[in-house]
């Protein structure tokens, strides 16, 4: 869901976590996804 555009806060709430840190334990991202996010970053020159 994260790679399809769902933000981590919403994902955390959907999973029923009271602390977003719990959600991060279960997350992983592909290299392609990370590269796409770097390109989108507003400070990318």
pLDDT tens profile 2-39: 888 888 899 999 999 999 999 988 877 788 887 888 88
What pLDDT score does 45 carry? 64
Rounded Cα distance, 43 and 20, in Å? 25
Question: Taking the domains of the chain in order of start, what are their residue ranges?
Answer: 2-40
- Please name the residue ranges forming H helices in the chain: 8-14, 20-26, 31-40
Contacts of residue 9, defined as CB under 8 A and 6 or more positions apart, other chains included, come to: 20
């Amino acid at each position: 869901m994260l790679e399809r555009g769902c933000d981590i806060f919403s994902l955390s709430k959907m999973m029923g976590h009271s602390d977003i840190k719990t959600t991060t334990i279960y997350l992983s991202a592909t290299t392609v996804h990370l590269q796409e996010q770097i390109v989108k970053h507003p400070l990318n020159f």
